[in-house]
Amino acid sequence: MSIESISPAQARRRQQAGAILIDVREAHERAAGHAEHARGIAKDALEADPHASLPDHEADILLICQSGARSLRAAQTLLDAGYARVASVEGGTTRWLAEGLPMTVPQQSEDERDFHDRYSRHLRLPEVGEAGQRKLQAARVAMVGAGGLGSPAAFYLAAAGIGTLVLADDDVVDRSNLQRQILHTEDRIGVSKVESARIALAALNPRVKVETFAERIGSDNVERLIGAADVVFDGADNFPVRYLLNDACVKLGKPLVYGAIHRFEGQVSVFDAGRHRGVCPCYRCLFPEPPPPEAAPNCAEAGVLGVLPGVVGLIQATEVIKLILGLGESLAGRLLHFDALGMRFRETRLRPDPECPLCAAGREFPGYIDYQAFCAAQ
């Protein structure tokens, strides 16, 4: 049976004669305004159980969406379910509004309006939607390092609506940072990096809570930093902190999003052994021992292409968002390499080390160590 398509004017007349007009858009779309007296039932909910909302199979049912495509698909579902009189409104709400037909704009608080406006492009993604955006809003991400990697990642995580960002960095802004650390500005040279970052992120998205730790991370405070986090972001530039973060995340069962840069190359992975013992590797499975200092100089010693941390940091931010939303396939068990000069990505598969002194299945946490001494001894 073909689906009947009608104009908004025809739909309005039938509605006034007793037809049921249903807006099948999502709630956040209807919040901007909908056809007067239309009932709001999202397409997925209507299709999942039409009888719950429309017990009368003989009722005159009119479906409207934004442009007419979704209402056509929903109408087909209702016809297949045995409803006899179903029509779709051509041009949807867009045409209804253009023809000057009456609209209803639901009352919203300023906070609700800000939420729907600010995150409208996320809300339109079925994989995110309002439920996913609320997850991001409730999430807490601990970020170690407000420098090269932390700068782009923090900007995009704040823009994406992460509810709480915990930033840890004991350094202050230096002019040499500005070539790549985009959170900071000339007028904040000499200001602590976490305070500079807080200022920048608050200006971008005042909905995001930024907690600052102007402290050097060590065994004595790492759990205070990451204990309540959903995801931990590694933007450190030294091996002692990387090993410390890894060990703490394994102990506490936190996913660790790792990134590192060197001159023109970078790498990213997710270490999730704390939640998946014997299935996912940890940082120690990849690097049982740190390389000697001369083999891995920091940016101050070796230099770094200014845009490189932007690429690597944004890949890390993407992994953070995916982990919170439970979307796609994370980089757990994979190490992604980026070569900026060759503009190439390559991937190395990582396996958990069954003899890993930290994350082997069934192994008790051995305790924190002197990470400075451990790295200096290699």
In a domain, 235, yes or no: yes
Q: Please give the model's pTM, rounded to 2 decimal places.
A: 0.86
In a domain, 133, yes or no: no
pLDDT at 360: 93
* Residue % of the chain over a pLDDT of 90: 89
Q: How confident is the model at residue 302 (pLDDT cuts 50, 70, 90)?
A: confident
Secondary structure in 3-state letters for 63-119: EECCCCHHHHHHHHHHHHCCCCEEEEECCHHHHHHHCCCCEECCCCCHHHHHHHHHC
pLDDT tens readout for residues 95-135: 999 999 999 988 889 999 899 999 999 998 989 999 999 99
Half-sphere exposure of 246 (CA within 13 A, CB side): 29
In a domain, 131, yes or no: no
pLDDT tens readout for residues 51-92: 999 999 999 999 999 999 999 999 999 999 999 999 999 999
In a domain, 115, yes or no: no
279 and 145 both lie in a single domain: yes
Distance separating alpha carbons of residues 85 and 107, to the nearest angstrom: 32
Strand partners, 263: 304
Q: Which of 87, 107, 127 is the last residue of a domain?
A: 107
185 and 299 both lie in a single domain: yes
Distance separating alpha carbons of residues 250 and 342, to the nearest angstrom: 35
In a domain, 183, yes or no: yes
Residues with catalytic roles: 299
In a domain, 123, yes or no: no
55 and 184 both lie in a single domain: no
Please count the structural domains in the chain: 2
